[in-house]
Amino acid sequence: MMKPQFYLFFRGDCHAAMTHYADTLGGTIEGVFLNRDAPATEDRMPGGDALVMNLVLRLGDTLMMASDNSDATYEPPQGFRIQIEAPSLAEFERVFAALADGASAIAMPPGETFWAERFAMFTDRFGTPWMLNFTGSKAQAEGRAP
């Protein structure tokens, strides 16, 4: 079975963003390939030697990969959000506080919905769009697993 994976692009702050995600979500950075690591100069992307060509972050059994783009080629993400299901209300609050710190936009502040005890949509300071959900007791009420 094929399994989708995330691949994010950043404007020169890939390593900082992915390290923040690893720390916040309990992941491990498994590999970083920098621009300066390319075997030949012509294989490098435009920009400095410290730009990330590829970074792999493991979150459980999911891989989240990312790289930097130069200012000339970077485009902000659109048309999707990374959805995280928090296992508890306390964990929802902790993850929201960490990921939304310095957020560039909060489309929907944390609040109760008809499907969840707590839900929020925001774009973090690195430009990554998120949805954070804690279904809580509403899962049991509808017969769904949390």
Residue 71: exposed, middle, or buried by beta-carbon count in 10 A (0-12, 13-18, 19+)? exposed
What tokens does 51 get?
Answer: 């730009």
The reported pLDDT for the residue numbered 146 is 47
| 3-state class percentages of the chain: helix first, strand second, coil last, to nearest 5 | 25, 35, 40
pLDDT by residue for the chain (146 residues), tens only, comes to 888 898 999 999 999 999 999 999 999 999 999 999 999 988 898 888 999 999 999 999 999 999 998 777 888 899 999 999 999 999 999 999 999 999 999 999 999 999 999 999 999 999 999 999 999 988 765 555 54
What tokens does 133 get?
Answer: 């959900």
The pTM assigned to this predicted structure is 0.89
User: Domains, the chain, ranges and CATH?
Assistant: 6-68 (3.30.720.100), 82-141 (3.30.720.110)
The reported pLDDT for the residue numbered 134 is 98
